[in-house]
Amino acid sequence: MFLALRDLRFARGRFALIGAVVAMIAVLGVILSGLATGLADAGVSSLRALPVTHLAFDKSASGELFSRSTVTRSTWRQWAAQPGVRKAEPLGQQLVHAQLTGPKAKQLDLAVFGVEPKGFLAPSPLKGKPLSEAPADGVLISEEIAKEGVGIGDRLTVGQADTPLTVVGTIGHASFGHVGAVYAPLPLWQKLHYGLPGQVPAAAAEQATAVALQLAPSADTAAIDKRLGTKTVDRAGAFAASPGYVAESSTMTLIRGFLYAISALVVGAFFTVWTIQRRQEIALLKAMGASTGYILRDALTQVTAILLAATAAGTAVGLALGGAMNGSAPFSLQTGQVTMAGVLLIVLGLAGAAVAVRRITKVQALTALGANR
Amino acid sequence: MTSPTPAPAPADGTAVPPALRLTDVTLSLGSDEQRVTALDQVTLAVSPGEFLAVTGPSGSGKSSLLAVAGGLQTPTEGTVHVAGTDLTALTERRRTAHRRRHIGYVFQHANLFASLTALEQLLLPAHIAGRLDAAARTRATELLEAVGMTHRADRRPHQLSGGERQRVGLARALVLAPEVLLVDEPTSALDRARARDVADLLAEQTRANNTATVMVTHDTEILDAADRVLTLRDGRLV
């Protein structure tokens, strides 16, 4: 550390350069973490909020299950009667275009969830009435829809049938596939799902997208699926059924993976050049009796100091930039993820540098003598 | 002053064992077909407080002698005793530790660390040895004063002249009070007057610190500062 810290002070321009690169990577790391979390929230926050352990879909559906699955009344009733099943209720899900009527008229996209108004899936409103006390066309809107200028008492119409919705209350953040969520009574959802004017056919009035389940650990989902012709996934597994969720998550993971790989390479490359430039000094240290361990510790202390300082500075800038986005992008920061991003950068930077400074072990003390230079 | 034997024992008759002793040292370099004998059956001993100068033409083996004497290179044959320990019998790790405790090197062009001030150059060996305490700081300050560099203690190498750098290099080599001081062409980059100063300082510090000093040099004009002069030619002492 004696030499490492003095080198940092003496060659501060050179180290500031690599520090700035690491700091910029840290800024990118924080922003990508925030965007990844924000995108995930925008994709599945409504699913995260569901008070369920599992969802059972039609077994023939695949991929984006919410748009491809249909279950019937008999299915959710049979599910409710299976061993280990605490609660089972129908859940409808439909993405629709809506028209806000009246003086604030505008078009909106809605992710409509159909639930039984008195069931365990019906959310408690932050403002207004619960679905159980609302009229048949009453809906609860999420904060995302409220931010579009929709409020309690407003009326929306949906689809060719101009099915009317009346906003009776608001809930917190909830979105699905980057679209704000709306909770409607199941009969209303079935009407929206049918989509045509007139009376909903009897068969359509018996349908939902999935069965929302609260299961005991003892529930044998595989056996029940086989009996009832369903495909059960746990709540986290259902995220993959959200539109674009898998593609977004894997893209962000890939970008972050490349970022960290690049950071390890950049730090490694810098310290490779630095170690080569220090060859004479390293030989001198060895000739003076410094052990290889002493020199490696000194070099890695230098790397750690740079990585710590640059990562801290970059993270602070990243947080400030994230704060400045202020809703203009799907951005959400979690302390754990930001910490993990910083730790990953430091660990991978150290790994890259460790490979580089291994060269220290190969430097011969003999090089310090004039005739061997 | 050309004998390979050490200086005579003190007048009181007590025998002083040599701090450095090379016995039948041969150093061969290169592969079989291009084998070069850098040192050939070299035997010498240097007592504490003795200043030995080794001269000779380029390629005569002077630097090889310093490398072998300091344990930087292992001889093909023979033994090298420093402070009573045979370096050739030690592992690389123990040889490094022995060098840290018992040997000081003064290098050509001083080889100072660019980022350290003159005083810090002297504190570094103490830090390497894990002994950077108040005593080490006092010793460093005293040595800087002894080599006339107190007024330049806070300067870095690029702010010092060649002669000043060599003074600092000498003080650095002495800071852990080694029994053996090995000096590599200390005046090669200095003008006459500065070369003379450095040579006299080496002689003075050898006596003051009771080190066994071996200086290899091309510079015949500073040989008179040494107690004894040996000449190497084709790896042999002549």
- Chosen from B63, B90, B170, B216 to mutate, greatest number of chain A CBs within 10 A: B63
Scanning every residue of chain B, which has its alpha carbon at the shortest distance from the alpha carbon of A10? B115
Q: Contact, A75 vs A212, CB < 8 A?
A: no
Residue range A204-224, pLDDT digits in tens: 889 999 999 999 999 999 999
Task: For tokens 């993405």, name the residue.
Answer: A95
Cα→Cα distances A275→A228, A272, A279, A373, Å: 67, 5, 6, 16
B164 touching A (Cβ < 8 Å): no
Contact criterion met (CB < 8 Å) for B107 and A9: no
- Is pLDDT at B8 greater than 50 in this prediction? no
pLDDT of amino acid A371: 46
Q: Binning pLDDT at 50, 70 and 90, where does residue B14 land? A: low
Strands A163-170 and A138-141 turn out to be: parallel
Residue range B37-57, pLDDT digits in tens: 999 999 999 999 999 999 999
Residue range B106-146, pLDDT digits in tens: 988 778 999 999 999 999 999 999 989 999 999 999 999 98
- Is pLDDT at B1 greater than 50 in this prediction? no
The overall average pLDDT reported for chain B is: 89
pLDDT of amino acid B9: 46
- Is pLDDT at A232 greater than 70 in this prediction? yes
Scanning every residue of chain A, which has its alpha carbon at the shortest distance from the alpha carbon of B116? A6
Question: B7 vs chain A: nearest CA distance in angstroms?
Answer: 27
Q: Contact, B210 vs B47, CB < 8 A?
A: no
pLDDT of amino acid B2: 43
The fraction of chain B above a pLDDT of 90, given in percent, is: 68
Q: How far apart are CA B37 and CA A146, in angstroms?
A: 90
Residue range B173-186, pLDDT digits in tens: 999 989 999 999 88
What is the separation of C-alpha B135 from the centre of its chain, rounded to a whole number of angstroms? 23
The overall average pLDDT reported for chain A is: 90
pLDDT of amino acid A140: 97
pLDDT of amino acid A362: 84
- Which residues in chain B have Cβ-Cβ distances shorter than 8 Å to A284? 107, 111, 113
User: Which pairs count as long-range contacts for A277-282, CB under 8 Å and 24+ apart, including other chains?
Assistant: A279/A363, A279/A367, A280/A367, A280/A368, A280/A373, A280/B111, A281/A3, A281/B113, A281/B114, A282/A360, A282/A363
Contact criterion met (CB < 8 Å) for B99 and A6: no
Q: Binning pLDDT at 50, 70 and 90, where does residue B7 land? A: very low
Nearest beta carbon to residue A287 from set B72, B109, B116: B72
Q: Binning pLDDT at 50, 70 and 90, where does residue A195 land? A: confident
Residue range A303-332, pLDDT digits in tens: 899 999 999 999 999 999 988 886 777 888
pLDDT of amino acid A322: 87
pLDDT of amino acid B15: 67
- Is pLDDT at A46 greater than 70 in this prediction? yes
Q: Contact, A46 vs A335, CB < 8 A?
A: no
pLDDT of amino acid A119: 95
If you count DSSP H runs as helices and E runs as strands, how many of each does chain A have, helices first?
12, 13
- Which residues in chain B have Cβ-Cβ distances shorter than 8 Å to A368? 72, 105, 107, 111
Q: Binning pLDDT at 50, 70 and 90, where does residue A111 land? A: very high
pLDDT of amino acid A244: 83
Show Cβ contacts of residue A161 under 8 Å, excluding neighbours closer than 6 positions: A191, A195, A196, A197, A198
ipTM for the complex?
0.87
Contact criterion met (CB < 8 Å) for A286 and B96: yes
Show Cβ contacts of residue A353 under 8 Å, excluding neighbours closer than 6 positions: A267, A268, A270, A271, A299, A300, A303
pLDDT of amino acid A62: 81
State if pTM tops 0.90: no
